[in-house]
Amino acid sequence: MMQTELQLKVMPIRAAVKKAYNQMPNTFSVLTLCLQTRSILNKMTMDGSILRRLRELRETGNVITR
């Protein structure tokens, strides 16, 4: 019997936050952003970590502030 390994692609929190933010409408709640980010990552991530990454993205100009 042959055993195969699944190659899982791990997405960094920063990339998931950026993707979730870009999918959000102009007005959204923080909870919605956190839930969308967790859905993209498919794992439990603390709200503080998600919001910290969003702040970092805004400071570096990688995300356009609405």
Q: 39: pLDDT confidence band, cut at 50, 70 and 90?
A: very high
Task: Tell me the residue type at 14.
Answer: R
pLDDT > 90 fraction of the chain, expressed in percent and rounded:
76
- Look-up of token digits 């794992």: 43
Q: State if pTM tops 0.95.
A: no
Calculate the alpha carbon distances from 63 to 19, 24, 53 in Å: 10, 12, 11
Domain boundaries, the chain: 30-59
User: Over the stretch 25-34, which tens digit does the pLDDT of each residue have?
Assistant: 999 999 999 9
